[in-house]
Amino acid sequence: MTTTVPLAPPVMPQRVVIGHAMHPQLAEVLLKRRPSLVIRGRLPGDVTTEDLTWADTYIGFRRPPAAASMGSVRWVHSTGAGVDGWLMGDQPLEAGILLTRSSESFGPAIAEWALARVFAFQQEVVPLLDAQRAGRWAPRDVPRVAGTRALIVGTGDIGRAMARLFAAVGMTVRGVSRSGTSGEPAFTSMHRLDALPELVGDADWIALVLPDTPDTRGVISREILARCRNAVLLNAGRGSVVDESAIPEALDQGWLRGAALDVFTVEPLPSHSPLWRDPRVLISPHSSGPSTVDATADGFLECVDALARGELPRWTIDRGRGY
């Protein structure tokens, strides 16, 4: 059931806490465009209970660590497209607080992240670098990326951008979504999520760009991984979508030949995780789609303008769906 939220905060935003590493730059841009705002900037870990009691609005990627309560905050604006940091876990955002997300398109950046890793695996960049460091000449036949088959699970803005980039280098691209539709011509075919068991065995690349919702959690289970046939798994959505504990087995069994992972069940990835030490795995620290100052400011101020008109911003999160 969708949680009911008020049409607008009780007052227009006046006192804003930014809990993000880019808070100095973001505050500067916002104050130039809305001088009436009063802004406190903090790193997320430095946000205090007093800050949240003072503020009516909070900008950040997830709930600040010290926030047992969001105090006087009536509106939270997420700096990311995903809002699981606000809705999932032990302390979901309180009912009655408006939740909006960034309007920024992360698709182009994440598509570049994915394509870079496709070429890294196909061109065997890591083994060649190891050979170089050892002073060893290591000739090999490297097949082209063109003609390989990609399966993109999640066909929103990010999945569509990825499909266009993959298709541009000659890959055949199939898409999977909850509805089984997309409207993006770069997909050669579209399928529903329940078709995954039949689709993964025919894919060379399986790219995941799903949000963390009750419907997507654990979609790539051990059973699904066992149906793969020497594919490379690329995950730039959320770690909860995959049974992370099954990835080492999938690599050892040949279900996967590699994995490029930007997101994890626990972040930062714990130092004891075997994924760190596996040469078949490429790890990046949830950095495939960084938020930018200008786009974050644009999205926030677009929401402010909507609220001033008495409208619910178009970037408002449907809590029932999780996005």
Contacts of 57 (CB under 8 A, 6+ apart): 9, 13, 14, 15, 16, 17, 73, 74, 75, 76, 77
pLDDT at 4 over 60: no
pLDDT at 156 over 90: yes
**What percent of the chain is modeled with pLDDT above 70?**
97
pLDDT at 110 over 60: yes
**What is the pLDDT, as a whole number, of residue 320?**
81
DSSP character for 31?
Answer: H
Mean pLDDT rounded to a whole number for the chain: 94
Identify residue 172 by its one-letter amino acid code: T
User: How far is residue 77's CA from residue 30's CA, in Å, rounded to a whole number?
Assistant: 14
User: How far is residue 38's CA from residue 297's CA, in Å, rounded to a whole number?
Assistant: 15
Per annotation, catalytic residue among 267, 272, 277, 309: 267
Please report which confidence band the pLDDT of residue 207 belongs to, taking 50, 70 and 90 as the band edges. very high
- The helix or strand, by DSSP H or E, that contains position 41, with its residue range, turns out to be strand 38-42
Give the highest mean pLDDT range of 10-24, 118-132, 305-319.
Answer: 118-132
User: How far is residue 128's CA from residue 109's CA, in Å, rounded to a whole number?
Assistant: 26
User: Hey, is 222 helix, strand or coil?
Assistant: helix
What is 15-104+291-308's CATH number?
3.40.50.720
Instruction: Assess whether 286 carries a catalytic annotation.
Output: yes
**What is the pLDDT, as a whole number, of residue 89?**
72
Residue found under tokens 């009691």: 53
With vertex at residue 179, the alpha carbon angle to CA 247 and CA 258, rounded to the nearest 5 degrees, is 20
Instruction: Assess whether 184 carries a catalytic annotation.
Output: no
Direct distance between the N- and C-terminal alpha carbons of the chain, in angstroms, rounded to an integer: 13
Instruction: Assess whether 223 carries a catalytic annotation.
Output: no
**What percent of the chain is modeled with pLDDT above 90?**
89
Q: Give per-residue burial for 309-322: e unless 16+ CB within 10 Å, then b.
A: eeeebebbbebeeb
Rg (CA), the chain: 21
Per annotation, catalytic residue among 23, 77, 174, 238: 238
22-80 per-position pLDDT tens digit: 999 999 999 999 999 999 999 999 999 999 999 999 999 999 998 889 999 999 999 99
83-95 per-position pLDDT tens digit: 988 998 778 999 9
pLDDT at 198 over 90: yes
**What is the pLDDT, as a whole number, of residue 2?**
39
Task: Specify the higher pLDDT residue, 71 or 319.
Answer: 71
Token pair for 228: 């793969």
208-257 per-position pLDDT tens digit: 999 888 889 999 999 999 999 999 999 999 999 999 999 999 999 999 99
**What is the pLDDT, as a whole number, of residue 7?**
47
**What is the pLDDT, as a whole number, of residue 283?**
98
Per annotation, catalytic residue among 63, 74, 286, 319: 286
Please report which confidence band the pLDDT of residue 10 belongs to, taking 50, 70 and 90 as the band edges. very low
List beta partners, residue 40: 17
**What is the pLDDT, as a whole number, of residue 8?**
44
Token pair for 172: 């055949």
Instruction: Count helices and strands (H / E) in the chain.
Output: 10, 12
With vertex at residue 18, the alpha carbon angle to CA 89 and CA 63, rounded to the nearest 5 degrees, is 10
**What is the pLDDT, as a whole number, of residue 316?**
95
Q: What CATH topology corresponds to 107-283? A: Rossmann fold (3.40.50)
Q: Where in the chain is the domain with CATH 3.40.50.720?
A: 15-104+291-308, 107-283
pLDDT at 297 over 80: yes
**What is the pLDDT, as a whole number, of residue 37?**
97
Task: Specify the higher pLDDT residue, 320 or 29.
Answer: 29
Q: Phi-psi category of 254—alpha, beta or left, where left has phi over 0 and alpha has psi -120 to 50? A: left
**What is the pLDDT, as a whole number, of residue 11?**
62
Contacts of 219 (CB under 8 A, 6+ apart): 153, 193, 196, 210, 241, 242
